[in-house]
Amino acid sequence: MELSDSVQRGLRSLGDESVVDHATFPALVDVCFRSLLSAGRDAGLLEEPELKQVEGVLLKRIHAATTTFILEAVRQNADESTISSCLEDLSFSSERIEILYSCYQVTSTSFPHHCLQPAHITDVSWRLQYHVKNGVVDKVNEPFYLISLNTENKGSPEDITFTCTMEQLQDMVGKLKDAAKSAEKASQM
């Protein structure tokens, strides 16, 4: 796992016993994790009394470096050996590594997912209409499809309805088949 200079410097100060002592370390780690998960928008997060011991600017730098480190670890799905080897390179003592890693394990699954998921189609109902005549033309004789897609969006069902001619429906079915084929091909890699 590669870390940039500023992150390394911040983490070194975090591991340095003269800057962050034993009592402050777990509190600081806890604050960093919490700020990433839920309490992020609370600007007073770093004003807690246990963190008064560390100087203001340095505290913010450590906070930024630690949060970046945590995010990188989550992004690369890092296992214990990678994280501990990284922290050992930055001269962390083994107990601090353990504290950090236990917090990481507890919270690593609850990080927000970064994927744009459109609605999930679960069902389809259709109706075929046949236009025989209309007021302007005597013989029309065209079929029309009324399709209603039952989708599920965040647990609540929604309906998407539309009409299409036969060619448009064929086009859509062809595209769905193409999509299925390319998904199969991607899984065959």
Partner 1 sequence: MEEVDKILILALKQVGTELSEEVGSVKDFTSELIVEAVVRCIRVIDPGLGSPLPTSLPPGMSARFRVGMSLAQACQDIGYKGEIGYQTFLYSSETEIRSLLMFLVEKLPRENAEASDQPTGKSAILQRAIAAAIKAQLVEPWLPPNCRLPLHGETQSLGVMHSFHKQPLSLPYCIKDPGKKSLKEVKDYQRDFLPPVTAQLAHNATVAASLLEQHTAELSVAQEWYNEWNSQGLLSRLTPQDYRARKLTRLRKRIEEQLRSAALPPTESAFGGLGATSDLSDILQSFRGSAASAHTLTKGSHFTHSQKFTFTQETEAVPSPARRTDDNHHSQQEELASLQQQFQQLCSDVDQLTTELKHLSVTNAQVLDEFKQRERQNNELEEKIQLKKKTVDLLPDAENNIVKLQALVEASAQRVVNLASQWEKHRAPLIDEHRRLKEICSNQDMESSKKLSEIKVLHDKIRVSTEEAKKKEEIHKQLVTELESLPKDVSRAAYTQRILEIVSNIKKQKEEITKILSDTKQLQKEINGLTGKLDRTFAVTDELVFKDAKKDESVRKSYKYLAALHENCNQLIQTIEDTGTILREIRDLEEQIDTENSNKTVANLEKILEDYKAIRQENSALAAKVREG
Residues that bind partner 1 (CB under 8 A): 2-7, 9, 35-38, 40-43, 45-46, 55-57, 60-61, 63-64, 67-68, 71-72, 75, 111-117, 120, 122, 152-155, 183-184, 186-189
C-alpha span between 177 and 46 (Å, rounded): 54
Give least dist CB 23 to partner 1, A.
Answer: 21
Closer CB to partner 1, 56 or 143, in the complex:
56
User: What are the residues facing 131 on neighbouring strands?
Assistant: 142
Sheet holding 120-131, edge to edge: 120-131, 142-153, 156-165
Of the pair 63, 96, the CB lying nearest partner 1 is at 63
Nearer residue to partner 1 within complex by CB, 52 or 131: 52
If the CB atoms of residues 16 and 72 are measured against partner 1, the closer one turns out to be 72
Shortest distance in whole angstroms from residue 53 CB to partner 1: 15
Q: Which two tokens stand for residue 150?
A: 């039952």
Instruction: Tell me the closest approach of the beta carbon of residue 134 to partner 1, in angstroms.
Output: 41
- Rounded to whole angstroms, the Cα distance separating 29 from 34 reads 9
Shortest Å distance, C-beta 108 to partner 1:
13
140, 121 contact by CB (below 8 A): no
Minimum distance from CB of 167 to partner 1 (Å)?
Answer: 29
CA–CA dist 176, 185 (Å, integer):
14
C-beta of residue 128 within 8 angstroms of C-beta of residue 144: yes
For partner 1, the closer CB: 27 or 164: 27
Calpha distance 1→59 (Å, rounded)? 24
